[in-house]
Chains A and B, each alone.
Chain A
Amino acid sequence: MSGDASALELVWNADPRLISIVLLSLFVSFSAVVLAALAGLPLGAVIALTRFPGREAAIVILNALMGLPPVVVGLAVYLLLSRSGPLGSWGILFTPKAMIIAQAILVMPIIAALARQTIEDLWMEYRDEFAAMNVGPLRRIATLLWDARFSLVTTLLAGFGRAAAEVGAVIIVGGNIEGFTRTMTTAIALETSKGDLPLALGLGMVLIAIVVVVNALAWGVRRTGERLAG
């Protein structure tokens, strides 16, 4: 298990190569979640609180999109951003921007679907009280978003977990360029295929630690919410 020892050393000594990969991964995934939240939270709220023809179908599709295969998203974004694609003029293929877009597309349905469910459940619970207290529509939305805030933060963390752990989309649109678009997951795939197991294992440890920390945060947020707000 000398590979394990080397991997631990890389992590322990904060190897610059490893650190730059970790930082890029966090930057890409965090940015993707912010983008996805900007689109997904309002979309989830609108679907939860409005009635329109085709709403049920929209919910089914949104739920189905939670399981989007990353490689398919990667391929679609690749086609959009490639030189001959409709957005080829942006010139961002094989850059972190492309990776952020791909991950945002992957994560957005997760955030929208979970937010829709959270807000709708709370709406069902509160709607009689809103009517009895004569609460106006804007205040209703503000109240629902505020009272669901702990669950919504958990939703965002779930999206972050999905983004941080995926490899298929970023490897296609990022190209796994060392020092530029190489993330933890793409580096693990590459280093494993090259037989450089210490770095792959080191990155794997960091990735697992991040996922654990994200889940611990989600748990902590929920528990804090329950303690403070019931």
Chain B
Amino acid sequence: MTMRAPDSELPIVLDAVRYGVGRLTILDGISLSFNPGAPTVLIGPNGSGKTTLLRVAMGLLAPNSGRVTWGGRAQISPERRAIVFQRPAMLRRTVEANIEYALSSAGIARSEWRARTDELLKLVGLTGFGGRPARRLSGGEQQRLALARALARDPQVLFLDEPTASLDPAATKAIEDVIQAVAGRGIKVVLSTHDFGEARRLAGEIVLLHRGRVIECTPAVEFFTEPKTNEARQFVAGELLL
């Protein structure tokens, strides 16, 4: 995988972003920035706006009001951003063909596909799976393939929407290992999770969302040792945040 200098996509800055559908407000004046460094983990209960925030930051949804900039620019095609959805769709092709499709969409020359595909399969632990139909893989394997497909874009920022939801511990560990490897290569990872343990294991920075607002945005160590808000204290104490 090519290492790229963190020059154009970061920081991603959301300034007073509001997003709603009809009368329902999903993001309510979010101001945040995602900077180069360790993974940022979005946590919060269902409906807190994590998925929508990821989609807005990815550029898939335009806010109703407010502003999003990538590296200081408001209009930039998402060539160096990638996202893995909570339930990624597998193209009805083989594992290898799924990755090749992503490489082709990213404008990578065909002559590089073989080497890049092998490299990505190795990175996500799917070496030897290339000829299998993607939709026949297990949930964890599909998530890893989705990660490989996202990484085929050689992104600078990788958004992951609950990447280990409903996976068993072994599959979760496999995904977390890939995330750590990816973060170690200098790719900014922003992921959402319900899993408190996962947030502890992966986060460099925590963003706690509740009812479409940012409740707390702090380094992970501080969040878990000295939460500043009641909601964060409740969350860290394992209480239900309704």
* Residues of A participating in the B interface, judged by any CB pair closer than 8 Å: 125-126, 128-129, 131-135, 139, 143, 147-148, 225-230
Smallest Cβ-Cβ distance to A225: which chain B residue:
B92
For chain B, what secondary structure do more than half of its interface residues adopt (helix, strand, loop), or is it mixed?
mixed
- Please report which residues of chain B, range 65-94, place their CB below 8 angstroms from some CB of chain A when the two chains form the complex: 77-79, 82-83, 85, 88-94
The reply to whether B133 and A133 contact each other, CB–CB distance below 8 Å, is no
The reply to whether A128 and B77 contact each other, CB–CB distance below 8 Å, is no
Looking at the assembled complex, report how far the CB atom of A184 sits from the nearest CB atom of chain B, in whole angstroms: 36
The reply to whether A132 and B77 contact each other, CB–CB distance below 8 Å, is no
Q: Assuming the A-B contacts A134-B77, A134-B78, are A143 and B60 also in contact, with contact meaning beta carbons closer than 8 angstroms in the complex?
A: no
* 14 A-B contacts (beta carbon < 8 Å): A125-B89, A128-B60, A128-B85, A129-B91, A132-B85, A132-B150, A133-B102, A133-B105, A133-B106, A134-B77, A135-B105, A143-B101, A229-B93, A230-B90
The reply to whether A134 and B105 contact each other, CB–CB distance below 8 Å, is yes
Check: B58 CB closer than 8 A to any chain A CB.
Answer: yes
Looking at the assembled complex, report how far the CB atom of B186 sits from the nearest CB atom of chain A, in whole angstroms: 21
Neighbour of A132 across the interface among B82, B91, B133, B135, CB < 8 A: B82
Q: Assuming the A-B contacts A132-B58, A132-B82, A134-B77, are A230 and B102 also in contact, with contact meaning beta carbons closer than 8 angstroms in the complex?
A: no
The reply to whether B89 and A227 contact each other, CB–CB distance below 8 Å, is no
Check: B136 CB closer than 8 A to any chain A CB.
Answer: yes
**A135 CA / B79 CA spacing, docked (Å):** 11
**A147 CA / B88 CA spacing, docked (Å):** 16
Check: B134 CB closer than 8 A to any chain A CB.
Answer: yes
**A135 CA / B91 CA spacing, docked (Å):** 13
**A230 CA / B91 CA spacing, docked (Å):** 9
The reply to whether A129 and B93 contact each other, CB–CB distance below 8 Å, is no
Contacts of B85 in A (CB 8 A): 128-129, 132
The reply to whether B89 and A128 contact each other, CB–CB distance below 8 Å, is yes
Contacts of B101 in A (CB 8 A): 133, 143
Contacts of A126 in B (CB 8 A): 89, 91
The reply to whether A129 and B78 contact each other, CB–CB distance below 8 Å, is no
Check: B153 CB closer than 8 A to any chain A CB.
Answer: yes
Q: Which of A125, A132, A225 has the most CB of B within 10 A?
A: A132
Contacts of A230 in B (CB 8 A): 90, 92-94, 133-136
Contacts of A229 in B (CB 8 A): 92-94, 133, 135
- Please report which residues of chain B, range 14-72, place their CB below 8 angstroms from some CB of chain A when the two chains form the complex: 58, 60
**A129 CA / B78 CA spacing, docked (Å):** 13
Contacts of B78 in A (CB 8 A): 132, 134
The reply to whether B60 and A132 contact each other, CB–CB distance below 8 Å, is yes
How would residues 99 to 111 of chain B score, 1 for a CB under 8 Å from any chain A CB and 0 otherwise? 0011001100000
**A134 CA / B108 CA spacing, docked (Å):** 13
Neighbour of B133 across the interface among A125, A128, A143, A227, CB < 8 A: A227
**A230 CA / B82 CA spacing, docked (Å):** 24
The reply to whether B60 and A129 contact each other, CB–CB distance below 8 Å, is no
Contacts of B136 in A (CB 8 A): 230
